[in-house]
Structure 1
Amino acid sequence: MITLYHHPFCPHSRFVRLVLGEMGIEPRLVEERAWDRRREFLLIAPEGATPVMIDDHAPSLSGAGVISEYLDETRGLDLGERRLMPDDPRARAETRRLTHWFNVKFFNEASQWLVREKINKRFMSSAQGGGGPDMDAVRAARANLRYHLRYIGYLISARNWLAGDRLTYADLAAAAHLSCIDYLGDAQWDENETAKTWYARMKSRPSFRPLLAERLPGMTPSVAYADLDF
């Protein structure tokens, strides 16, 4: 039995949930607000960040990259053509490059700031850095998002999926981060039809249904969030 410590609007947690969904694994979900620095959570996750996964009685695994690599190494071969990491070394390198792009670069430049300023700070105390959103940070993140949407459009214009001919971790990472932004209504879908079409394909996958059902107390999602034909 897999247990996943996550936050519903942590992009990295959403990435791991999508990976598990594509593998047909339904984890036990434990919601964790990392900013509370709960002692019991820190004992299993010294980094103090989500996601953290426990697979049966194995040691806890922290971080989206570590978890996804572990899942590929322990379950990937059983998936056959549905494996999320290609067999070819060059294709694997491209998948890792783009997964890192979205989990690190995209996160640092866009999704981190939008989620923190518009979601997390609503639930933080003043001592934890809570309060109203820093609109300068929000505007900068929105500007950076345009660049990333153009890059997604560029990739998809020449490929079936982001890293090549098949669905990989790269698609799941990008879609996980965008799903949080889409909830907030900050994705400029009208500016890149190619990226929008790709994301509509991602939203239509069964693994995405639990994410589209998530709701944040006191904040309704954008009109397009759960609409598969947005």
Structure 2
Amino acid sequence: MHKYVIMGAQGCGKGTQAKLLKQVFEMVHISVGDIFRWHIQSHTKLGARIKRLIADGRMIDDEIVEQIIRERLAQHDWNYGFILDGFPRTLTQAAFFLESYDIDAVIHIDVPDEVVFERVLARRLCSQCGLDYNLIHHRPATPDTCDVCGGKLVIRSDDNKEGLQQRLRDYRTQTEPVLQLFAKKELVIQTDGARDIDAIQQDIRSQLGLRKV
């Protein structure tokens, strides 16, 4: 069983790399952002609260994130392990997690800010099925239209320069200390996220000692 956390600034490619690991090694990809979006699209009470925080450019409260992680991991559908994407983002979340769970490694994808801006501002999301697109690496066959369901592609409400600048500030002040905490426990591997997708994936597998059976 492999249990990993994958971290990095917005647009670094966490979701892409986690999905590749999931496909090959049968791990469960647990994306906190995807869970947030499900709640928003399903119009739950929690979703309404999350939507307000995102619209204001603020990080989601620790108690909300902890509740989501606890409920998701309690499903125990991760026989071959899991990859946590988008968590933990604060020292409070990290403390909660380390008290309750153990992990094998933290994958840190490092990218410069200019790459973050380029990638994030090119992101699009299907308004119907929630599928992610990127106008740099993953364009739809028909502009502004989802290849799978035909839904309209939209820009996420927080994918703008002002919102991104705030999220990067939050990342530097609140999430980078989490990486430092994991580094002290000798859990962190780091990869250059400015390279192409396959090169990043192979580097991650090599550092983790993962081999396709």
TM-score normalised by the chain length of structure 1: 0.29
Instruction: Specify which structure has the higher proportion of strand.
Output: 2
Higher RCO, Cα 8 Å, sep 6+: 2
Structure with more of its chain in helix, by fraction: 1
TM-score with structure 2 setting the length: 0.31
